Chains A and B, each alone.
Chain A
Amino acid sequence: METKNIMIVGVGGQGTLLASKLLGYVLLKQGYDVKVSEVHGMSQRGGSVVTYVRYGDKVYSPVIDRGEADMILAFEQLEAARWLPYLKKGGRIIVNTQRMEPMPVITEAAVYPEDLVGKMRAAGAEVDAGDFLEIATKAGSAKAVNIALMGRLSVYFPDIPGEVWQEAIEANVPPKFLDLNRIAFENGSKMS
């Protein structure tokens, strides 16, 4: 199988690393060769963060370049727009509609663009947008937004059985938060 590319983008502190860990776990279980590339350190302090997940028969480069991503999972609207150039023509982008204003916007040195979801659709991207923060909050914790988004992502992997995702959550989430994360995953997948 040709190598497939998924990017997970968001703001430092939103839990993108855990999401990539889960996805890597699931894909490895499916027997794929997998590479996951992260950035640690400075940019984690509220900066723009990106994780690359690649899988297939044999994966070489750990990173994804502009125009190569089959799918982008965006934890925040502005980050979705920032990383849009990495999406393949006609690729799919799952967007959490949460808005987090970066410092240049807070200090009014820059403007947060309006209707980014509409603009991404107009640009030809397959956009699947929703308020995953609300789903997570209703499930019991705003921090479960990463798991709610993973739930949505799972919809686009019809061949991967639900148990594998559940197993990945169990292996990576502390037991006392398991229940709320299961609900977040479930409701994230159902969101339409």
Chain B
Amino acid sequence: MRNLLFTAYVVLCLAALIWPGYDWLGNRIEPYVLGVPFSLAWVVGWVVLTFVVLLIYHVTGAPSHEAGRFGDSVASEED
């Protein structure tokens, strides 16, 4: 179910970024969003939304049982 929803989002996002989705829905100058034309704001919006969806997908996944197993062999280098 989680994977299905995620796949659906990826398809939707791709459709919104290329023809014809982008041309139909996002490709216009007005309204301006924070001074930026809608055509640019549309693409930025999808980048931001992808970040949010990825974050949700990530935190709802099973906690990685490998996190400890991979990390315990060597001390961390940078923090």
Partners in one complex: no
Footprint of B on A, CB under 8 Å? Answer: none
Footprint of A on B, CB under 8 Å? Answer: none
